[in-house]
Amino acid sequence: MHGIITIFRKELEDHFSSTRFILLSALIIMVGVIITAMVGMSIQEELKGMTKPTLIFLFLFTSTGKLFSFVQFIAFFGPLIGIILGFDSINRERVSRTLSKIVSQPIYRDSIINAKFLAGVVVIAIVLIAIVLLISGLGIRLIGVVPGPEEAWRLIIYLIISILYIAFWLGISILFSVVFRSTATSALASLAVWIFFSFFVGLGAGFLADAIAPLPQSGAQVDPEVLIRHERIQRVTSLFSPMTLYSEATTTILDPMRKTTRSLILMGPMERLSLSRFQNPLPLLQSLFIVSPHIISIIAITFLCFGVCYFIFMRQEIRTI
């Protein structure tokens, strides 16, 4: 335990004093402020002279305004935060030969990797909490609505999911920093994985669906069975992307009007009926139930990723360290 605390403290110090952390937080804060300003003003405009709808506060995070919403921004940019914080965490010490020194001190070897991961997660949490608080503060001024307890809870759950999601990418980048000796290689490998899962899986899902259940050319009558199959394949495949998991989970949590993560085609008749009947927002617990598989999946891949990383690090020959 002692080793973890010492290394954890040093890692935190390193993160906070590093140029890349300052640049990163400056960028995020800038984008966050710009998004909020635009979204806040458009909400102000639209609601002039109207009674304010319920849970309007969350629109600050989900409304796309002219560019993109904050939620979309984090889904897209969050992985980069994780990667930047972790891509050189182990191999930097290997290159500077400090790792062999650290392992010859009286600490358990796993405290090195645990402390590094933990410090990264804490930095991620601090950045995210700060930015969400900043947006909330700006938003309160701009739209003049104070969030109620339910909105606050939804934001807290959103934060937890986001931290887990970015921690997954931190795990990926630490994994590469354990496997590769050069920091450039591990950075590029992490970026490659990020691009693959965030963009190509989405594209690939479409291709795969087209290949397995091809839709007839336009004009011809579409067999509903084929259409449903096509949709289903596309959906299942795209769920392999952590970005899809995260986006669906967070938009459902932050938008109480969303009652399902499925597209209209895949709904059964009863589901469609109930959707059109009940127009009120979902209670928080129900929103949570809808995306609980997503949340559990994100937790699972985060822990799996760190587990693999831990295992490889512990098994590595010290000579190669």
Partner 1 sequence: MEDHIVIETEELTKKYGHQIAVNRLNLKIYEGEIFGFLGPNGAGKTTTLLMFLGLTEPTSGKVRVIGYDPIREPLRIKEKVGYLPENVGFYEDMNARQNLQYVARLNRIPDDISSKRIDEWLKNVGLWNDAEKKVGNYSKGMRQRLGIAEVMIKEPKILFLDEPTIGLDPEGTNWMLDMIRTLSKEKKITIFLSSHLLDQVQRICDRVGIMIKGNLVAVGPIEELAKKKLGIDAEHYTLEEIYMKYFKEG
Interface ranges with partner 1 (CB under 8 A): 2-3, 6-7, 10, 93, 96-108, 317-319
Query: Residue 122 Cβ, how far from partner 1 at the closest point, in Å?
Result: 19
Give whichever of 109 and 259 is closer to partner 1, judged by the CB atom: 109
Structure tokens at 155: 């934001």
Query: Residue 321 Cβ, how far from partner 1 at the closest point, in Å?
Result: 8
Give whichever of 99 and 134 is closer to partner 1, judged by the CB atom: 99
Query: Residue 226 Cβ, how far from partner 1 at the closest point, in Å?
Result: 55
> CA Rg, the chain, in Å?
22
Give whichever of 14 and 150 is closer to partner 1, judged by the CB atom: 14
Give whichever of 2 and 141 is closer to partner 1, judged by the CB atom: 2
Give whichever of 17 and 276 is closer to partner 1, judged by the CB atom: 17
DSSP string, 32-93: HHHHHHHHHHHHHHHTTTSPPPTTGGGHHHH--TTS--HHHHHHHHHHHHHHHHHTTTTHHH
Q: Are 144 and 39 in contact (CB under 8 A)?
A: no
Structure tokens at 185: 């290689």
**Cβ within 8 Å of residue 90, ≥6 positions away:** 99, 112, 113, 116, 174, 177, 178, 313
Query: Residue 315 Cβ, how far from partner 1 at the closest point, in Å?
Result: 11
Query: Residue 18 Cβ, how far from partner 1 at the closest point, in Å?
Result: 9
